[in-house]
């Protein structure tokens, strides 16, 4: 198969695990009949971007361009595109393709594609035969089936993190049917956790935020938590024992997961959406004696991601963000490691000139 015709666009990339991100020029394919070309307006900064840039998951190929919380404007559509037109404001999340034929893809669970989802960065580009390059760039070309409609009433910059942080927290709550009458815990008030609080509240649950930072108590309540528990306070934790239907654990650092298992009711479920670098020890008895469960959840498929965006439009839900310029990304990474952001950085891509 001959290589598609390509065009050049500006980006920020890194050339090694220890190199800073810097200005670069990359190639994108010229849109095919079913492709949408998007001028990227905003790109959220996910902790996964940092893991990927620094090869902490041990699969990064360089040069690497992170970014999978993309909001932009359609500039070109292929001759066969039916869902979008030039000028539409659209989103691209963590996926840009999948096999489309396996049972998971056919049921709208492309994130679990049996033949391997194509991620927005770090996967093999089916068209170019090179690693996919993400949203820290001026434009991107994506097949229309993996492009999402953005609600017109939402601030597009603040909506960008919905494409990862939003769907990562929305999907497990929908799957495990979080709703009125339930007591739901959110562990960690970061990029994921603050979205978890907003969704759990919007679903009608009684929401309890767990944080190690006493300084986040007021902010947790502002975001919608009914209660905020400082998890380092043993008395506060003991008072919550055996009372939760569902706990969403959004912490990616090492922590004591057993402390949260003890908070679940009989048949309660703790879902991991954070990704700690090292395995978390799990004690058997807290699971055995209350028939509790531990689960994991990834992002969502395309239908559920669109459902989430529409829900956010109806309930006016966006991420709390701090806007940065593209040339501030390396500083933003260091601040992110210190949890020095409330609660998601978003890059104004107009600054990439």
Determine the pLDDT at residue 4. Answer: 83
**pLDDT at residue number 3:** 74
Distance CA 165, CA 174 (A): 15
- Radius of gyration over alpha carbons of the chain, in Å? 20
Residues 156 and 174 in one domain: no
CA 339 to chain centre: 16
Number of structural domains (the chain) is 2
pLDDT for 197 equals 98
Position 49 scores a pLDDT of: 95
Confirm whether 37 is domain-assigned.
yes
Q: Which domain holds residue 208?
A: 165-296
Of 274, 51, 42, 337, the C-alpha closest to 161 is 42
Same domain, 43 and 58: yes
Residue 311 is assigned to a structural domain of this protein: no
Q: Determine how β-strand 148-149 pairs with β-strand 89-92.
A: antiparallel
Cβ-based burial of 208 (10 A; exposed 0-12, middle 13-18, buried ≥19): buried
Residues 270 and 346 in one domain: no
Q: Give every CB contact of residue 70 below 8 A, 6+ residues apart in sequence.
A: 38, 40, 42, 43, 91, 92, 93, 120, 134, 135, 140, 160, 163
Contact by Cβ (8 Å): 51, 57? yes
Q: How many CA atoms lie within 13 A of 221 on its CB side?
A: 9
Is residue 301 included in any domain, yes or no?
no
Residues 6+ apart with CB under 8 A from 233: none
8 DSSP β-pair partners: 27
β-strand pairing of 227-230 with 148-149:
unpaired
Q: What is the pLDDT of residue 93?
A: 98
Residue 267 region, left (φ>0) first, then alpha (ψ -120 to 50), else beta?
left
Q: 340 with 314: CB under 8 angstroms?
A: no
Q: How far is the C-alpha of 7 from the C-alpha of 138, rounded, in Å? A: 12
Alpha helices in the chain (DSSP H): 47-53, 103-106, 156-159, 165-175, 191-202, 217-223, 234-238, 258-261, 285-288, 302-315, 329-337
CA angle (241 as vertex; 272, 282 as ends), nearest 5? 40
Q: How confident is the model at residue 1, as a pLDDT?
A: 53
- Six-digit token string for 304: 């559920």
Are 270 and 287 in a shared domain? yes
The CATH code of the domain that includes 201 is 3.40.50.720
pLDDT of amino acid 253: 84
Give ∠ CA 162-338-196 in degrees, rounded to 5: 30
> Do 220 and 135 share a domain, yes or no?
no
User: For residues 167 and 93, is the Cβ–Cβ distance under 8 A?
Assistant: yes
Q: Please report the sign of the dihedral spanned by the C-alpha atoms of residue 300, residue 223, residue 191, residue 25.
A: positive
102 and 127 share one domain = yes
pTM (two decimals)? 0.94
Q: Are residues 136 and 170 in the same domain?
A: no
Q: How far apart are CA 12 and CA 21, in angstroms?
A: 6
* 1 inside domain: no
Query: Residue 254 falls within a domain, yes or no?
Result: yes
Cα separation, 55 vs 60, whole angstroms:
5
Output the pLDDT for position 2.
67
One domain, residues 100 and 171: no
Regions in the chain scoring below 50 on pLDDT: none
What's the pLDDT tens digit per position in 177-204?
999 999 999 999 999 999 999 999 999 9
């Amino acid at each position: 198969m001959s290589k598609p015709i390509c065009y050049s666009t500006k980006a920020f990339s890194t050339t090694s695990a220890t190199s800073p991100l810097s200005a670069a020029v990359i190639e994108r394919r010229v849109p095919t009949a079913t492709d949408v070309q998007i001028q990227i307006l905003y790109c959220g900064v996910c902790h996964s971007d940092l893991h990927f840039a620094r090869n902490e998951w041990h699969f990064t190929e360089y040069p690497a361009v992170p970014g999978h919380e993309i909001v932009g404007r359609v500039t070109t559509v292929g001759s066969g595109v039916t869902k979008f037109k030039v000028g539409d404001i659209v989103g691209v999340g963590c996926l840009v393709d999948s096999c489309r034929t396996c049972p998971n893809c056919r049921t709208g669970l492309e994130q679990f594609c049996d033949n391997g989802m194509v991620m927005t960065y770090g996967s093999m580009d089916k068209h170019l035969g090179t690693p996919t390059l993400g949203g820290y760039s001026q434009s991107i070309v994506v097949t229309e089936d993996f492009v999402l409609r953005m609600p017109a009433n939402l601030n597009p910059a603040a909506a960008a993190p919905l494409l990862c942080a939003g769907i990562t927290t929305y999907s497990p709550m929908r799957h495990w049917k979080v709703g009125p009458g339930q007591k739901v815990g959110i562990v960690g008030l970061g990029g994921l956790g603050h979205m978890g609080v907003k969704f759990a509240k919007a679903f009608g649950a009684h929401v309890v935020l767990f944080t190690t930072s006493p300084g986040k108590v007021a902010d947790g309540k502002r975001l919608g938590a009914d209660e905020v528990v400082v998890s380092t306070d043993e008395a506060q934790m003991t008072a919550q024992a055996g009372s939760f239907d569902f706990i969403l654990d959004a912490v990616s650092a090492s922590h004591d997961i057993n402390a949260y298992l003890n908070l679940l009711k009989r048949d309660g479920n703790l879902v991991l959406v954070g990704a700690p670098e090292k395995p978390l020890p799990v004690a058997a008895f807290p699971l055995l004696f209350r028939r509790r469960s531990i689960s994991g959840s990834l992002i969502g498929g395309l239908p559920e991601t669109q459902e989430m965006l529409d829900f956010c439009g109806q309930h006016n839900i966006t991420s709390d963000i701090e806007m940065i310029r593209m040339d501030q990304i390396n500083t933003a990474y260091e601040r992110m490691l210190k949890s020095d952001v409330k609660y998601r950085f978003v890059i104004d891509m107009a600054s990439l000139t």
